[in-house]
Structure 1
Amino acid sequence: MIIDLPTGPYEVVSSGGYSPGPAPVSRRLFAAAHVVADPLGDNSPGSPAVVDWDATLAYRNHLWSHGFGVAEAMDTAQRGMGLDWAATQELIRRTGANAAGPFACGAGTDQLAPGTHSVDAVIQAYLEQIAVIEETGGQVILMASRALVAAASGPDDYHRVYGHLLSQTSKPVILHWLGPMFDPLLAGYWGSPDLDVATDVFLEIIKSHASAVDGVKISLLDASREVAMRRRLPAGVRCYTGDDFHYPELILGDSHGHSDALLGIFDAIAPAAAAAVRALDASDIASYNSIFAPTVPLSRHIFGPPTYYYKTGIVFLAWLAGHQSHFKMVGGLESARSVPHLIMLFKLADAAGLLPDPELAVHRMRAFLEVST
């Protein structure tokens, strides 16, 4: 099948994608899921999010069908970039009520109004969100807080906040370190712009409360730093890679251990990623590597700078793959990537075998180009 792109004729090679299968067992895998906007709602920038709940929950069922846990209400769902706290609460509750597999949910402080708040206010905001999640039976993911960056005077305030929160949760949580490439307002997290100092503070908090920590999600896009940190974690604390550039090698691991995964790119590549890890379950490393290999250029493209706009590529691919009927986003974020960027995404998704209905994908790509060029 040939499609005429502005870059010239292109032959589509996808032949149908991957079928659902049993959950992988050698690694614990979460896919951070996006939300589907209501295309007829007012989702302009700054407006309260209007979500298509049926399509949003259907996408979670897609992820569960491939054996993933769903990481709900994370930055992939546009927390802080279009998804307000009122919509986030409803998202968490609906996912909990309709769960067909494991799920964990992001707790943050984004209900606080912009501006400076006290450390105590930050703690109370976290506790409010933790309560919503625990009511649903979901596992808590303690997300990094912009408000805490603004309120904290140094590492001691991070010890105070996280120490209090970890003494209050009912079951072990996942701690999330989201780097400034994903959110510039999180620069200096853990009380220092020096990553070595910040790492030491992070590990001190984990070691002081290890029984309350299931694992840590590292989103710094630095494989060597993740491996070094992984080797310093207390026994029983998992490392969930959040590295959308180096995930195959980090999940595979080495003689000292491996990373589990909680990734935004898994939203886009779930069928291939599940097949790869099932190959790993069978000790078929060659198949593991060959399945994952073409997904890496796609992921690096989707998460290219400015990285925080990766959500646009995630949703565009979900539309091309037939998981939603439109390419609209809360906060109007469908405009955040250029036409050339999305054309390249189409080609890379095709090369990775992630267009399950190639004819539909070509039809939609043609329609997109007709109104965009």
Structure 2
Amino acid sequence: MTLSLKLPNTSGKVETYTLRGTTPVKPPAGVKFNRIAYSAAHVVADPLAAIDPWLQCAVDWDATIAYRQRLWSLGLGVAEAMDTAQRGMGLDWPTSLELIRRSLDAARDFGPGALVASGCGTDHLVLENVKTVDEVVAGYEDQMAAIEKLGGKLIIMASRALARVANSPADYERVYDRILSQAKQPVVLHWLGDMFDPALAGYWGSNDVDQAMDTALAVIAAHPSRVDGIKISLLDKDKEIAMRRRLSPGVRMYTGDDFSYAELIAGDGFGSEITHGQSDALLGIFDAIAPAASAALGELAQGNLQKFHDILGPTVPLSRHIFAAPTRFYKTGVVFMAWLNGHQRHFTMVGGQHSTRSLPHLAELFRLADAANLLEQPELAVRRMNTLLALHGVE
């Protein structure tokens, strides 16, 4: 059956769009990977909560955990309470900790293979009140203790407070030395570029990316047994490759490059240390393209490199669109995809963030999702897109 609808373009003109009619991407049952692959997962808001949505946070816990169970069923790990979950953009620390607790409990119930790593930061601190590096350390320690008490593996998130008060690379080295020396199990470090969060400009003590990289690598080299890997989200594949080749033996590069993830995961085979020639994954886009990511990684594990690229390649234009500037609003596209595909009942977000993208942006996202074979229930997707169009006066 041919499906069509009216969609606006970037000039505001409404045009007929006909879906391709291709079979949605679906991985085989029991798919196995030869990369570690985490999806940074979104949260499902509770639209029926009587709150002020810009100021308060209400989560639909059942739908949120059900989405994580879906990711695990596809072989993907969950990077919990990260920026994709609107950490620092509507999701506060008490709610984040409850999310982490529920996710860890659900992973235990799900069984072996349900990977979870949880974001640990300093976002409970009142940013304007933080004056010293020691206060940042204490903030990290508070969250570390809470997450580790639950049995959680840590992702040490970049700290707005540290970026605010640090005066030199030595301040970063001091903070991370304290954190890593206390961690109960190897952690994932997280370097988030200022395109994702302007408050993180100059992280690692320099606005020069190469100098910042030197500092981060020195931190890792001082604690190689305490660092599982580092996720960098700079949207610069050459910088990621350069850093990957300089990592301490056994330390993984978790790509956070939502523009070039396919080629970074495939790797270039550089060097004798396997982790220096390929990237693992910790990606927000894997939330939106989970079936394709799973199917592609399964093909890669079987040595089918061309099939890997055939599946994942068409998702890259979609990802580049979702993560277009202002990049920090990418979460809207991720949640929109979950709604189109029937994984939540509504298109509302914590903090009212569903309003951050225009109707033409979402219409182009719909087209790109169709082109990438990612509309899992095309008829439902068309009905829901028509609902959104009607809400915006497009009948």
- TM-score, normalised on structure 2? 0.92
| Cα shift at 1:299 | 0.1
What is the rounded CA distance, in whole Å, between the counterparts of 2:28 and 2:45 in structure 1? 25
Letter of the 2:152 counterpart:
G
2:119 is aligned with 1:106: yes
Tell me whether 249-258 or 118-127 shows the greater mean CA deviation. 118-127
CA distance change for structure 1 residues 63 and 20 in 2, over 3 Å: closer, same or farther?
A: farther
What is the rounded CA distance, in whole Å, between the counterparts of 1:4 and 1:109 in structure 2? 45
SS at match of 2:289: helix
CA distance change for structure 1 residues 343 and 25 in 2, over 3 Å: closer, same or farther?
A: same
Q: For residue 277 of structure 1, what is the aligned residue in structure 2?
A: 297
Q: For residue 327 of structure 2, what is the aligned residue in structure 1?
A: 307
What is the rounded CA distance, in whole Å, between the counterparts of 2:145 and 2:85 in structure 1? 20
What is the rounded CA distance, in whole Å, between the counterparts of 1:287 and 1:159 in structure 2? 42
What is the rounded CA distance, in whole Å, between the counterparts of 2:365 and 2:54 in structure 1? 27
Question: Is contact 1:44–1:332 with CA below 8 Å preserved after alignment?
Answer: no
CA RMSD of aligned residues (A): 1.2
What is the rounded CA distance, in whole Å, between the counterparts of 1:79 and 1:44 in structure 2? 18
| Cα shift at 1:48 | 2.3
What is the rounded CA distance, in whole Å, between the counterparts of 2:279 and 2:227 in structure 1? 15
What is the rounded CA distance, in whole Å, between the counterparts of 2:241 and 2:31 in structure 1? 25
2:11 is aligned with 1:4: no
| Cα shift at 1:139 | 1.1
CA distance change for structure 1 residues 154 and 45 in 2, over 3 Å: closer, same or farther?
A: farther
Question: Is contact 2:31–2:295 with CA below 8 Å preserved after alignment?
Answer: no
Q: 1:263-318, CA deviations, whole angstroms, 9 ceiling, x for partnerless residues?
A: 00000001001101111111111111110111000000000000000000000110
Question: Is contact 1:23–1:68 with CA below 8 Å preserved after alignment?
Answer: no
Q: For residue 254 of structure 1, what is the aligned residue in structure 2?
A: 268
- Could you tell me the percent identity over the aligned residues? 57
SS at match of 1:158: helix
| Cα shift at 1:20 | 5.6
What is the rounded CA distance, in whole Å, between the counterparts of 2:320 and 2:50 in structure 1? 31
Q: Pick from 226, 235, 242: which aligns with 2:249?
A: 235
Tell me whether 39-48 or 67-76 shows the greater mean CA deviation. 39-48
SS at match of 1:115: helix
CA distance change for structure 1 residues 138 and 371 in 2, over 3 Å: closer, same or farther?
A: same
Q: For residue 26 of structure 2, what is the aligned residue in structure 1?
A: 18
Question: Is contact 1:116–1:147 with CA below 8 Å preserved after alignment?
Answer: no
What is the rounded CA distance, in whole Å, between the counterparts of 2:163 and 2:262 in structure 1? 31
Tell me whether 124-133 or 287-296 shows the greater mean CA deviation. 124-133
Q: Pick from 84, 92, 100: which aligns with 1:92?
A: 100
List gaps (5 residues or longer) in structure 1: none
Aligned ranges 1:111-150 → 2 under 5 Å: 111-117=124-130, 118-150=132-164
Q: 1:32-88, CA deviations, whole angstroms, 9 ceiling, x for partnerless residues?
A: 000000011256454221000000000001100100010000000001100011111
| Cα shift at 1:119 | 1.2
Letter of the 1:81 counterpart:
M
| Cα shift at 1:26 | 1.0
Q: For residue 209 of structure 1, what is the aligned residue in structure 2?
A: 223
Q: 1:88-145, CA deviations, whole angstroms, 9 ceiling, x for partnerless residues?
A: 1110111111113010000000000130412111111111111222122221000000
SS at match of 2:290: helix
Question: Is contact 2:27–2:298 with CA below 8 Å preserved after alignment?
Answer: no
Letter of the 1:144 counterpart:
A
Question: Is contact 1:219–1:241 with CA below 8 Å preserved after alignment?
Answer: yes
- TM-score, normalised on structure 1? 0.98
Length, aligned pairs only: 373
Q: For residue 361 of structure 2, what is the aligned residue in structure 1?
A: 341
What is the rounded CA distance, in whole Å, between the counterparts of 1:336 and 1:150 in structure 2? 26
Q: For residue 168 of structure 1, what is the aligned residue in structure 2?
A: 182
What is the rounded CA distance, in whole Å, between the counterparts of 2:95 and 2:384 in structure 1? 29
SS at match of 2:99: helix
What is the rounded CA distance, in whole Å, between the counterparts of 1:21 and 1:228 in structure 2? 36
Q: 1:326-350, CA deviations, whole angstroms, 9 ceiling, x for partnerless residues?
A: 0000000000000000000011111
Q: Pick from 338, 355, 359: which aligns with 2:379?
A: 359
What is the rounded CA distance, in whole Å, between the counterparts of 1:80 and 1:23 in structure 2? 34
What is the rounded CA distance, in whole Å, between the counterparts of 1:42 and 1:232 in structure 2? 51
| Cα shift at 1:147 | 0.3
CA distance change for structure 1 residues 95 and 39 in 2, over 3 Å: closer, same or farther?
A: same
2:343 is aligned with 1:323: yes
Letter of the 2:237 counterpart:
A
Question: Is contact 2:322–2:334 with CA below 8 Å preserved after alignment?
Answer: yes
Q: Pick from 157, 173, 178: which aligns with 2:192?
A: 178
Letter of the 2:6 counterpart:
D
What is the rounded CA distance, in whole Å, between the counterparts of 1:108 and 1:20 in structure 2? 36
Letter of the 2:220 counterpart:
I
SS at match of 1:163: helix
| Cα shift at 1:366 | 0.4
Question: Is contact 1:21–1:67 with CA below 8 Å preserved after alignment?
Answer: no
Q: For residue 273 of structure 2, what is the aligned residue in structure 1?
A: none
Letter of the 1:86 counterpart:
P
| Cα shift at 1:29 | 0.2
CA distance change for structure 1 residues 91 and 20 in 2, over 3 Å: closer, same or farther?
A: farther
